[in-house]
Structure 1
Amino acid sequence: MNITITENLKRPDPAALASTLEALAARFGNRLITSQAVREQHAHTTTWLPTQPPDGVVMAQETADIQDVVRICAKHRVPVIAFGTGTSLEGQVNAPAGGISIDLRDMNKVLEVHAEDLDCVIEPGITRKALNEHLRDQGLFFPIDPGADASLGGMASTRASGTNAVRYGTMRDNVLALKVVRADGEIITTGTRAKKSSAGYDLTHLFVGAEGTLGIISEITLRLRGIPETIAAAACSFTTLGGACQAVILAIQTGIPLARIELLNTEQVKACNAYSKLTLPETPLLLLEFHGTALEVGEQSKNFGEIAKECGGGDFTWTTKPEDRTKLWQARHDAYWSVKALRPGAGIGVVATDVCVPISRLADCVTETEADLKRLNLISPIVGHVGDGNFHCSLICDVNDADEMGRGEEFMHRLVERAQAMGGTCTGEHGIGQGKQKYLKAELGSEALDAMRALKRAFDPDNIFNPGKIVPAA
């Protein structure tokens, strides 16, 4: 799989790039890094997309740093790519036209916490785990959990989701306001701490999910939640994948307030057992978690147990011990690494891809996907945040085997087409980046793409913000 730099993504003029690097060096000193190793780290991707490093990396420490980088780069029309922790999966941090990467990891402060209002104001470089550690003593937490310890700025930029989305929503639902550095280096404030507003265009949600193509987030106001009185988790095995999916559908339709419900197919359970030293039955599995009072959690678990039994589920035991819950969910979060360990060796690559369908089509989509894998003789364990119809395939292929790679590409193309034909989307949470641009027209239509291009031109007329991402060239 190759990404080619299209004509409108020519690298900056060498003289313009040299002037940019000179100006950045004068402003930032040793916080401008141009070594090959560091530049490659800032384009690292865990997919099959090629690494396309920037020409330099600036370590930002405050909003003024972002503004100055943008102003200097804009003057010479040099691309600017925001970098959080580098956990994105569709090439979002690549620099196909070169340019400057702004590393935001040092902008990691919690600026304000308003416990009584259940919100906080943060810098974009803080990670979700660090934020929750800061909030824990106040009885609060931020619920969005994509698995990786991603930066909150990156999570906002990719409209991240995760295991808790079925109850708490995605980043779209939990970002109240942003401060964004625009293409002239000035700052846009998109909202306030109020829980709702009818004041003007919804700029906040325009930038959430924009993958850094319209501006660079410098401050985020987030919605928080109270830590539940009781948290209970369990694993429930099923005789068939279809039965597990049907249990999810029935649980959602009957209104059981699930906090987390994750699907692992048989191949993924085997991988997790081997990698995380677990002894789960090697059949389709649901991992569950409920939040609430002790009475509520007990009632919810009883109701789900009845549904699971009807759908071919076995017995399961709930646990409220933090250490047991952590072990169970860590195994889920380590799914990618467990898959990678299934087939070690040089040239073996893993690409994580996702789709999302209406909940009523979940069982059909997952079972047809498994059948496709068998037909194509491919290995791709399946995991999913199935409470909202989203699931992931971790396809393992030998990148040096042209035939196997061809079958892998066919599989991923058919996966997206299948989801879209069922009224779903080519990506529920990984985003578009470079990897899924070719599917947007079929999903949204050419008119929608034209509208996106018009927005891009309005906010970024010189195409300096993360060029080559999301919207394909006309």
Structure 2
Amino acid sequence: MMDLGGLQTILGDRLVTSEADRTQHGRNETYYPTTPPDAVAYPETTEEVSAILAHCHAQGIPVTACGAASSLEGQHLAIRGGISLDMSRMARVLSVNAEDLTCEVQPGLTRKRLNEELRDTGLFFPVDPGADASIGGMAATRASGTTAVRYGTMRDNVLALEAVMADGTVIRTGSRARKSSTGYDLTHLLIGSEGTLGIITALTLRLSGIPEAVTAATCRFPSVAAAVDCVILTIQSGLPVARIELLDEVMVRGFNLYSEAGLPELPHLFLEFHGTPAGVAEQAETFAALAADFGAEGIATATKAEDRTKLWTMRHDAHYASAALGPGKRICATDVCVPISRLAGAVVWAQEECVRLDLTSTIVGHVGDGNFHCGICVDPDDMGEMARVEDFTHRLAEKALALGGTVSGEHGIGIGKQGFMDAEHGPAVAYMRAVKTAFDPRGILNPGKLLPEAQ
């Protein structure tokens, strides 16, 4: 255990070293082993975060930020020890500027709580990764989700940041203005940096108007290829879908087990349309006609809020529904993103590989932007099964790159995908390391994540 006396002076009883707290902060949603930090710090202000980082920088103490701990590549795990910087007590809405369609929030605020706070304004924050993630964590991992096809990712919806650098310096990047031509774009450098360049302490977000009408739709297809080809034509036709999600037949089986969905075990699309009542009705009708050409059946729509909530709650529980297919096992969750024209081939290839390797895996995807996820049931103590899972995830990443895509469209790098950074980025990785060194010369911020070790 390292000397934490200086941090105790800053935080008092909000620096916690109990085994229960440390173990809680060492857990994750997937199969990575529990990795407790040496201590958990609970700051409540930017000034406290600054003092913590200044002390840790001077003493060489690792600092790993933690929000809702819902990341799937172990980004919040303190694998080099040190402190877990729990941002949950910095969870306020600082301001709402309804006329500008912006708000400023602290990083520990969750997306559901933010939208509850915004409800009376007629505005909402549209980025929806499924989990009730913290806004700071969503920015740090460049999260996206089911609504990205219409509203974009965190990259598109964060206008400005307040962040504390490794040495404790507080900086502000960006502004409430919708664009700027001044200086390096540090806002978007910090977004997606997974806590390795700085600690986000406030975010200025772009908001959207709550749609006048919302209609959800579901339908099933004879094959994954037919469903994906339908998605491709839907996007190419310019139909303004707000969500368009693919579920393969194994994922549907998981929903039937976990959520008692009662769905035919065939590939499905779940969709949502936003707009005026006449507009969403026309969009749903146009999609139904288009989908019929690809063999779609059982097309159903839902306009009541409770019915739509039930549908998307089921979709957001995909991680747990995947786990229902392998009782007693953990889930290895991986994702890739490919050009939409190559999506059908990539999804079918992934299905066939899982069958070949005797792996139980669901496939679910935000297919409107070419991103899909595999949820693989695995026993971490079964070395043979672990080897097959690693073979699959490695080959899937290679396949995505060969198709002109990326090894992660949403989950990020964390621990699990560092080995693919050189293959995807080549010589650019050296420049990423140079940025890391400039921002964090002592290497205290989330060490061991995102960038592979230099050879």
TM-score range, shorter chain: over 0.9
State the AA in 1 paired with 2:299.
F
Q: Which residue matches 1:370?
A: 351
Shift of 1:371: 0.7
| Alignment counterpart, residue 392 of structure 1, candidates 373, 376, 394 | 373
Deviations 1:409-435 (A, max 9, x none): 111111111111100111011000111
User: Root-mean-square deviation (CA), in Å?
Assistant: 1.0
Aligned partner of 1:91 in structure 2 is 74
1:59 — aligned with what?
A: 42
1:165 aligns with 2:148: yes
Q: Secondary structure at the match of 1:197?
A: coil
Give the AA of the match of 2:430: D
**Equivalent-residue separation in structure 2 for 1:135 and 1:48 (angstroms):** 36
Look up the match of 2:437.
Answer: 457
2:363 maps to 382
What is the alpha-carbon distance in structure 2 between the residues aligned to residue 144 and residue 27 of structure 1? 35
Conserved 8 A contact 1:158-1:430 = yes
CA distance in 2 between partners of 1:461 and 1:160 (Å): 27
Q: Distance in 1 between matches of 2:421 and 2:442?
A: 23
Matches within 5 A, 1:15-30: 17-18=2-3, 21-30=4-13
Among 422, 440, 448, the residue aligned to 2:428: 448
Residues 217 and 284 of structure 2 are in contact (CA less than 8 Å); yes or no, is this contact kept in structure 1? no
Displacement after TM superposition at 1:400 (Å): 2.5
Which residue among 177, 196, 199 is the counterpart of 2:160?
Answer: 177
Contact 2:159/2:175, CA 8 A, preserved across alignment: yes
**TM-aligned CA deviation for residue 97 of structure 1:** 1.6
Q: Which moved more, 1:380-389 or 1:46-55?
A: 46-55
- Which segment is superposed worse, 378-387 or 90-99? 90-99
**Of the candidates 258, 276, 291, which is equivalent to residue 308 of structure 1?**
291
Post-superposition offset of 1:401: 2.1
Structure 1 gaps of 5+ residues are 1-13
Contact 2:255 2:314 in 1 (8 A): yes
1:198 to 181, 185, 188: 181
The reply on whether 1:356 has 2:341 as its aligned counterpart is no
How many residue pairs get matched? 454
Deviation string 1:147-182 (CA, Å, 9 cap, x unpaired) is 000000000000001000000000000000001101
Conserved? CA contact 2:10–2:48, under 8 Å? no
Matched, 1:425 2:382: no
CA–CA distance in 2 between the matches of 1:235 and 1:280?
10
Amino acid at match of 1:152: I
Q: Which residue of 1 aligns with 2:203?
A: 220
Counterpart in the other structure of 1:4: none
1:468 aligns with 2:448: yes
Matched, 1:37 2:17: no
Matched letter for residue 239 of structure 1? P
What amino acid does structure 2 have at the position aligned with 1:60? Answer: P
Query: SS of the counterpart of 2:335?
Result: strand
State the 1:299 CA deviation. Answer: 1.4
Match in the other structure for 1:143: 126
Cα deviation, 1:121-169, whole Å, max 9, x if unaligned, reads: 0000000000000001111100000000000000000000100000000
1:219-271 CA-partner distances (Å, limit 9, x unpaired): 00000000000000011100111000000000000100010000000011111
8 Å CA contact 1:349–1:396 kept in 2: the answer is: yes
Distance (whole Å) between structure 1 residues aligned to residue 114 and residue 330 of structure 2: 32
- Tell me how far apart the structure 1 counterparts of residues 271 and 363 of structure 2 sit (CA, whole Å): 16
The residue type paired with residue 352 of structure 1 is: A
Q: 1:297 aligns with which of 255, 277, 280?
A: 280
Match of 1:330 among 313, 337, 356: 313
What are the superposed Cα offsets for residues 270-329 of structure 1, whole Å, 9 maximum, x if unpaired? 111221121222100000000000111111111111211111111412111000000001
CA contact under 8 A between 1:232 and 1:318: conserved in structure 2?
yes
Q: 1:278 & 1:97 partners in 2: Cα distance?
A: 42
State whether residues 245 and 270 of structure 2, in contact with CA within 8 Å, keep that contact through their aligned partners in structure 1: yes
Aligned equivalents of 1:378, 1:461: Cα separation in 2: 43
2:123 and 2:33 map into 1 onto residues whose CA distance is 40
Question: Aligned-pair distance for 1:398?
Answer: 2.2
- Matched with 1:10 is none
Q: Which residue of 1 aligns with 2:250?
A: 267
Aligned mates of 1:463, 1:276 — CA distance in 2: 44
Distance 1:94 1:270 in 2: 32
- TM-score using structure 2 length: 0.98
Task: Write the deviation string for residues 354-378 of structure 1: whole angstroms up to 9, x where unpaired.
Answer: 0000000000000011111111111
Aligned partner (choices 106, 117, 134) of residue 123 of structure 1: 106
Task: Name which of structure 1's ranges 391-400 and 450-459 shifts more when overlaid on structure 2.
Answer: 391-400
Provide Cα deviations, 1:179-221, integer angstroms capped at 9, x if missing partner: 1101221111111100111111111000000001000000000
Where does residue 391 of structure 2 map in the other structure?
Answer: 410
- For 2:449, give the aligned amino acid: K
Conserved? CA contact 1:49–1:435, under 8 Å: no
- Aligned-partner SS, 2:361: coil
- Alpha-carbon distance in 2 for matches of 1:115, 1:313: 41
SS of residue in 1 equivalent to 2:419: helix
Determine if contact 2:60/2:442 at 8 Å carries over to the other structure.
yes
Q: Secondary structure at the match of 1:426?
A: coil
Following TM superposition, by how much is the alpha carbon of 1:50 offset from its aligned partner in structure 2, in angstroms?
2.3
Matching of residue 240 in structure 1 with residue 223 in structure 2: yes
Q: Which runs of 5+ in 2 are unaligned?
A: none
Offset of residue 47 of structure 1: 2.1
How high is the sequence identity, in percent, across the aligned residues? 56
Tell me, yes or no, if the aligned pair for 1:157 and 1:209 is still in contact at 8 Å. yes
Aligned residue for 1:7?
none
CA distance in 1 between counterparts of 2:383 and 2:209 reads 51
**AA matched with 1:459:** F
Residue of structure 1 in register with 2:270 after alignment: 287
**Which residue of 1 is the match for residue 117 of structure 2?**
134
Runs of 4 or more consecutive aligned structure 1 residues displaced over 4 Å after TM superposition: none
